[in-house]
Amino acid sequence: MGKKKRDPVLDEYEKLEYEMVRDKVDEIFRNHPEDYISELEKIGFQYVDDEGDYEEMEEQEAKPENPRQRDLVAFFEDRKELSEEVFERFTEEKVSENPNYPLIRKYFKRANRPLKALLLYGLENYPGRIDILSDMAYFHEFENVLHILIAHYTRACVEQQDLNTFSKLARDFYYATSPDGYEAYYALKELFEPESDKAKIIDFLIAEEAGEERDAAIQ
């Protein structure tokens, strides 16, 4: 039997429909870069997030690949005591040439008790370290430690003398706690003299955030 000949009218219709959908998708990405997923769903697309499944697979397959990683796993699994050596191995792993992120990440997602103790040890002994504060903010996504974040970010901001570092700390503080409704900028503003350099930085950050919110509302 010969191949059935396609209807040229149907072909033209499908081509036109494809071009209309393509143009609509292009318009969405151009005009709604922040919320393109919801806009695509409005025109019939279904968003499927495969990233979570991929990360979970990575974490399930992750194994310690060197002595440092084996020591960390032993600590996370309560087979090794908390110490300065363990803390150093943790920080060394994060800045190594090939850090085993999936291995470490799965203990964050489990809200691992020894890992929490390790982060608290770091914040108590090295207050103001942005990397440890950021790690605790990530841990907060899996266990509510808002009071810890507020206390240690506040201490870091008060004690930090370098204004560029202070600005980064304050901004990180805001983004780490704003999903919980905490107004970090205004809380910090109360701690500094109105005309001090730190107060001026906080005023700038408040104005910056207000501007971003206005821009988002306009789009």
Q: pLDDT tens, 93-134?
A: 999 988 999 999 999 999 999 999 999 999 999 999 999 999
Sequence-separated contacts (24+) of 111-115 with Cβ below 8 Å: 111/139, 111/142, 111/143, 112/76, 114/75, 114/76, 114/77, 114/78, 114/82, 115/76, 115/139
66 Cβ contact list (under 8 Å, min separation 6):
none
How much is the mean pLDDT over the chain? 84
Position with higher pLDDT, 20 vs 61: 61
pTM of the model: 0.73
Residues 136, 145 contacting (CB under 8 angstroms): yes
Tokens matching residue 4: 């059935």
65 Cβ contact list (under 8 Å, min separation 6):
100
